[in-house]
A and B are shown apart, each in its own frame.
Chain A
Amino acid sequence: GAGVSQSPSNKVTEKGKDVELRCDPISGHTALYWYRQSLGQGLEFLIYFQGNSAPDKSGLPSDRFSAERTGGSVSTLTIQRTQQEDSAVYLCASSFRGWGNNEQFFGPGTRLTVL
């Protein structure tokens, strides 16, 4: 079956522009997560969606970052007015029910480069 997919795989943008990153989770998975992987910060949690509950946004680094999940499936991570420090690989993961001990399946990531 299909795994987690992310698009685009690579994105190069200019400082100050807005970008949207897309994640298609595994069908039937109720929980969806965004993480960021960068040289300076390692792997960081950004945001988590579980069913119809309010998302856990505690990892978003600034108010330039936002995410939504439409229809309990596809998610879009939006970064407004991008900065060079936003350059990183953005990873999406999904799991069933999201109760901590469930495996999170990761997508291949979107590599964002801000010039």
Chain B
Amino acid sequence: AQSVTQLGSHVSVSEGALVLLRCNYSSSVPPYLFWYVQYPNQGLQLLLKYTSAATLVKGINGFEAEFKKSETSFHLTKPSAHMSDAAEYFCAVSDRGTDKLIFGTGTRLQVFP
């Protein structure tokens, strides 16, 4: 069965620092991969998705993620953190041909001034 592992339930960075949120997936076939963000008391919003068109995916708010098949990883990065990036981030996978999302446990990002 598909699964997603997010290393680090909490990540803290200073404003302006690099953001790196880790995600590894388990699949024998490259799946579709997603990063969602959840701001406090809000629903989930799609940041970016990988669907095999390109290994480096750019999303909203300056975030990007790189699909690395050899490492079964899809880490999320942002060169310079902003206070408004403080939120919970979820990596998710869906099998090709199926539709339900399997989520990781989430990483809460804190940004300090």
A interface, CB within 8 angstroms of B? 4, 31, 33, 35, 42-45, 48, 50, 56, 59, 91, 93, 95, 98-109
| Min CB–CB distance B31 → chain A (angstroms) | 8
A101-B100 Cα distance, complex, nearest whole Å: 10
Q: Which A residues are CB-close (under 8 A) to B49? A: 101, 103
B interface, CB within 8 angstroms of A? 32, 36, 42-46, 49, 51, 90, 92, 94-106
Q: Which A residues are CB-close (under 8 A) to B96? A: 100-101
Q: Which A residues are CB-close (under 8 A) to B36? A: 106
Q: Are the C-beta atoms of B98 and A103 separated by less than 8 Å?
A: no
| Min CB–CB distance A22 → chain B (angstroms) | 15
A99-B100 Cα distance, complex, nearest whole Å: 9
Q: Are the C-beta atoms of B44 and A100 separated by less than 8 Å?
A: no
Q: Are the C-beta atoms of B105 and A48 separated by less than 8 Å?
A: no
Q: Which A residues are CB-close (under 8 A) to B103? A: 35, 42-44
A42-B45 Cα distance, complex, nearest whole Å: 16
Write the chain B residue with the least CB distance to A50: B99
Q: Are the C-beta atoms of A59 and B43 separated by less than 8 Å?
A: no
| Min CB–CB distance A1 → chain B (angstroms) | 16
A44-B92 Cα distance, complex, nearest whole Å: 11
Write the chain B residue with the least CB distance to A43: B103
A4-B103 Cα distance, complex, nearest whole Å: 20
